[in-house]
Structure 1
Amino acid sequence: MRMSTKAQYAVRALVSLNLTSDGMPVSIKEISERENISLNYLEQLFVKLRRGSIVKSVRGPGGGYVLARPAKDIRIDEVIDTVEETLVPVSCMNADGSCACDFECTTQMVWQGLGNQIREFLSSLTLEDLTDQGRRRLSVRASNS
């Protein structure tokens, strides 16, 4: 299974935002440059993230984006659900986990179980968890320099 770039980039961008914001707005351009993600693509993702109440936009000079609520309250599955259409392990599965085939296949139980495991794992992680991990990696890199 391969997750789309929408999900990957949204999670990366939010970790970057949380690492650098310190409660102050961060421009999408800064995130785009830091994460090497197309500015246009990132703008589209942040529209979805704003609609999903994950980020808030701040207008005016020094404006940008901030998290809409604490990072510890933003689960990774929620971020992915906000920017993705579905989170299913195989193309023949509906968003609700049911089989999309005209007939119920004999392997449906495998794909449902896999989908449940993926969702359970992603719902166990918060943006704060990933930000803490990012801080540790940056700290190790800085000490090795």
Structure 2
Amino acid sequence: MKLSTRSRYGIRGMLELAISYGKGPVQIKSIADVEGISVKYLEQLISQLKAAGLVRSVRGPKGGYILAEEPAKITLFKVFQVLEGPVIPLECLDESGGGSCDRVAECILRPVWKDLRDAVKGVLTKVTFQDLVDKVNSGEQLDFQI
């Protein structure tokens, strides 16, 4: 499983907003410069996050973007879902009926793929942006056990 740039860059952008939480709005160009992300691409990602209610825009000469709620209430999973959709390593696990397999009934590996999905979801749900901010501020490496 490979994360796309959408989720990687979106999470990095959200982290910059989390680091600045309570200090006022942050402009997209500033985030893009710090993170080495295209302004145009980041605008698209922030637009999706705004539509999902995770980010708010602030107008004016000192305007920009802020988190819609405190970093401790926003998990990596929320951002991942907005930018990537549900965690589905294989089509046979798509519960919305979007895909299936002729061998679902007798597939010996299906429980393994379910465990993989659940593990990924578990890690992404466990980590909040406040956790990440705390790690950044302490200079520690991330180490979250599931």
TM-score higher than 0.5 here?
A: yes
Distance 1:66 1:75 in 2: 16
Distance in 1 between residues matched to 2:8 and 2:51, nearest whole Å: 18
Cα deviation for residue 19 of structure 1 reads: 1.4
Q: Once the 2 structures are TM-superposed, how far is the Cα of residue 93 of structure 1 from its aligned partner?
A: 3.6
Task: Tell me the residue number matched to 2:68.
Answer: 68
Q: Percent identity?
A: 35
Q: Is contact 2:91-2:98 (8 Å) kept?
A: no
Match of 2:17 in 1: 17
- Number of aligned residues: 138
Quick one: structure 1 residues 111 and 97, their matched pair in 2 at CA, closer, same or farther if it must change by over 3 Å?
Answer: farther
Match of 1:8 in 2: 8
**TM-score, L = length of structure 2:** 0.85
CA RMSD of aligned residues (A): 2.1
- Give the partner amino acid of 1:76: L
Partner of residue 36, structure 2: 36
Q: CA deviation digits over 1:34-68, x for unaligned, max 9?
A: 00011111001001100111110011111100010
Could you say if the C-alpha distance between residues 92 and 36 of structure 1 is closer, same or farther in structure 2, counting changes exceeding 3 Å? farther
**d(CA) in 2 for partners of 1:99 and 1:114?**
18
My pick for the range that moved more, 17-26 or 62-71, is 17-26
CA contact (8 A) 1:18 1:67 kept: yes
Contact 2:21 2:70 in 1 (8 A): no
Secondary structure of 1:134's counterpart equals helix
Separation in structure 1 between the aligned mates of residue 77 and residue 97 of structure 2, nearest angstrom: 15
Instruction: Report how far residue 88 of structure 1 moved.
Output: 2.1
Whether the 8 Å contact between 2:91 and 2:101 is mirrored in structure 1 is no
Gaps of 5+ in 1: 139-145
Distance 1:50 1:99, change over 3 A: same
Q: Give the secondary structure class of the aligned counterpart of 1:78.
A: helix
SS in 1 for 2:139: helix
Which residue identity is paired with 2:54?
I
Distance 1:71 1:93, change over 3 A: same
